[in-house]
Structure 1
Amino acid sequence: MTRHGARLDIVLQSWRDHGKWRVRELLGHLGRYYTPYGTPERARPYDTDELVSMVGLTDQADTPVARLSGGQRRRLDVAIGIVGKPDLLFLDEPTVGFDPQARQEFHDLVRRLSDREDTTILLTTHDLDEAEKLADRIVILSGGVVVADGSAAELAERVSGKAEVRYSRDGEFFTHSDEDATGYVRELFAAYGEAIGDLEVRRVRLEDVYLAMVREFESGQRTVAPSELTEVTA
């Protein structure tokens, strides 16, 4: 391992290990490999008990890996990925097969990691809701080509600047599209007050953006500017 190699790590979809290792024992063993690469600015590795607590496995610290649940195992995968305090962490389809509760817990963990450490996280996922919740910057690929790059809000504006406002008034239901949904809602309440009910503002979802951009790109209706075009190879 080089000093450069100690600065990045990856959490794969799955990997094999020795199921008899206990959580604290495994993290302590792996952490020792990073000790020579610490710097005054970034001490390496994490303290083992601190890391176990950070990923929510304190109660399972002495549990063999083979006995962890799927969600607990994914937490351990992340702990292994960050034990050396990388500057850059790759997460490859991290929540495949998770139930809703395990998915939410994992999302909370990723947010805590992003807020606590100066670590850049690169997440690959087919779950567009997950990307919208977690990512500051989203890159959409089609056929190995980057067809869009920006925040969820920026990408939504490129497809449609309008949001859909749904509401009821005196028992009747209405739907209105407007670029300034907030302003329209203010006008509604100013004009009708308590007569407005069942209010819902539906902004363009990342799934809508993805489908629209990929369809346009594949049909040739949308061309990618040379400055945007990036070929991705394995």
Structure 2
Amino acid sequence: MGNMIETQRLTKHFKDVRAVDGIDLTVARGELVALLGPNGAGKSTTLRMLTTLIPPTSGTASVAGFDVVRQQREVRQRIGYIGQGNGAGHSQRGRDELLSQGRAYGMGLRQARTRAAELIDSLGLGDVADRTVSTLSGGQRRRLDIAMGLIHAPELLFLDEPSTGLDPQNRANLQEHILRLRAEHDTTIVLTTHYLDEADSMAERVIVVDHGRVIADDSPARLKAEHVGDTIRLGFDTEHAAAGAATVLSGRGGSAYGKELTIRTESGPRQVPGMLEDLRSAGLPVASVEVTRPTLDDVFLTLTGRSLREGGSKTDGTPVPELVEV
């Protein structure tokens, strides 16, 4: 069947700014991939090219087997896109918006009604589907947006910041709905988010983009192990004991500060018993043990030098210029 998304040297220039600088991507059918990057990194521009909203300056991209430049209609028929804003008209009823969306994709009225009913049921919108959109809560509107993006049963769904503005409970509910829908419909999903815990818990792969290039592409677990590792902190009763422990465990690359020894390693919980046995044999009892597992925030900071939410500036501190297409 081939990959759902394939790009080769995909590039986009805005005046003198190279927003996307030769990105190579592959996304397999059925995958759930998180595309991460700070503001100005090229993430949104990449999505706009993949959804046929803007043409690339150079390079190629295919979505669902169709070229994003030469076969835009075929691409648009096979994708769903849920942006950051609400897509439904505020004065319209939710069910009517779903029917209109289905008809716009060429569905017959009976087919659109059947599909709308399925989505209303699966997304828990049964009690509110016939209310006007303006009366819905933020979480209900986002679920309606998801339904509108899925009405034509797309092979590929782009979710751009789907949880923005939602409270923690609605965020958790929406994540559950996305995962269930993916399992039921085998939909390929490309997710962008500023909630790295969301990417960590949902995505099989995380692709990090910075300065228009892919700088990391792997599973969340492997990214954390490769770029950060676990942190083990061993506490002692005296500074002398901590220094002695650093000597005993010198092969593990630890550093002592005060009464604490800090070691970065892979598989921290598995390493602790052996360390404690070595220190006990050396007559250096440990007073406390703490193992900290890395997060995607730690990975992002290591890779880019800034947190994901630090947008609008480059690593040298200069502002990212406004992008104007030419």
Indicate conservation of the 8 Å contact 2:225/2:266, yes or no: no
Alpha-carbon spacing, 1:60–1:164, altered in 2? closer, same or farther (3 Å): same
Q: CA deviation at 1:177?
A: 4.5
More helix by share: 1
Equivalence for 2:295: 205
CA distance 1:145–1:167, shift in 2 (3 Å): same
Offset of 1:208 from its aligned partner? 0.4
| Residue equivalent to 2:76 | 5
Q: Structure 1 residues 154 and 56 mapped into 2: Cα distance closer, same or farther (>3 Å)?
A: same
Which of 145, 152, 161 pairs up with 1:93?
161
- Are positions 1:18 and 2:18 aligned together? no
| Aligned-partner Cα distance in 1 for 2:267–2:74 | 50
- Equivalent residue for 1:34? 105
SS at match of 2:127: helix
Q: Partner of 2:158: helix, strand, or coil?
A: strand
Further displaced range: 133-142 or 176-185: 176-185
Distance 1:87 1:200 in 2: 45
Partner of 2:267: 180
2:184 corresponds to 1:116: yes
CA distance in 2: counterparts of 1:78 and 1:119, whole angstroms: 13
**Offset, 1:148:** 1.2
Aligned-partner Cα distance in 1 for 2:179–2:130: 26
Conservation of the 8 A alpha-carbon contact between 1:13 and 1:94: yes
Closer, same or farther in 2 for the Cα pair 1:29/1:183, shift >3 Å? same
Question: In 2, are the aligned partners of 1:71 and 1:98 still within 8 Å (CA)?
Answer: yes
What is the letter of the counterpart of residue 164 of structure 2? V
User: Distance between the aligned counterparts of 2:290 and 2:153, measured in 1?
Assistant: 42
SS in 1 for 2:163: coil
Shift of 1:58: 0.9
Unpaired segments of 5 or more residues in structure 1? 38-42, 220-233
Measure, in 2, the Cα distance between the counterparts of 1:63 and 1:72.
11
What is the RMSD of the two structures over their aligned residues, measured on CA atoms?
A: 3.6
**Which one-letter code corresponds to 2:193 in the other structure?**
T
Is the alpha carbon distance of 1:9 and 1:16 closer, same or farther for their aligned partners in structure 2, counting shifts above 3 Å? closer
TM-score of the superposed pair, with normalisation by structure 2:
0.55
The answer to whether 1:164 aligns with 2:231 is: yes
SS at match of 1:97: coil
Point out where structure 2 has 5 or more consecutive residues left out of the alignment: 1-71, 237-259, 281-285, 307-313, 317-324
The answer to which structure, 1 or 2, has the higher relative contact order (CA under 8 A, 6+ apart) is: 2
> Residue 121 of structure 1 aligns to a residue in which SS?
strand
How far does residue 65 in structure 1 lie from its aligned partner after superposition?
A: 0.7
Deviations 1:90-117, CA, capped at 9 Å, x for gaps: 1111111111111111111111122111
Aligned length: 211
Partner amino acid for 1:70?
Answer: G
Structure 1 residues 72-81 or 10-19, which shifts more? 10-19
Question: 1:40 maps to what in 2?
Answer: none
Aligned pair in 2 of structure 1 residues 144, 4: CA closer, same or farther (>3 Å)?
closer
Aligned to 1:215: 305
For residues 16 and 204 of structure 1, do their structure 2 counterparts lie closer, same or farther at Cα, with a shift above 3 Å needed? Answer: closer
**Aligned positions of 1:120-159 closer than 5 A:** 120-159=188-227
Q: Which structure has the larger Rg?
A: 2
Q: 1:187 to 1:27 in 2, by over 3 A?
A: same
CA distances 1:76-98 after superposition (whole Å, capped 9, x unpaired)? 01100111111111111111111
Q: Mark the CA change 1:102 to 1:128 in structure 2 (over 3 Å): closer, same or farther.
A: same
User: Residue 189 of structure 2: SS of its match in structure 1?
Assistant: strand
Equivalent pair of 1:46/1:85 in contact (CA under 8 Å) = no
Give the counterpart letter for 1:14 in structure 2. Answer: G
Are 2:155 and 2:188, in contact at CA under 8 Å, matched by a contact in 1? yes
User: Following TM superposition, by how much is the alpha carbon of 1:9 offset from its aligned partner in structure 2, in angstroms?
Assistant: 1.5
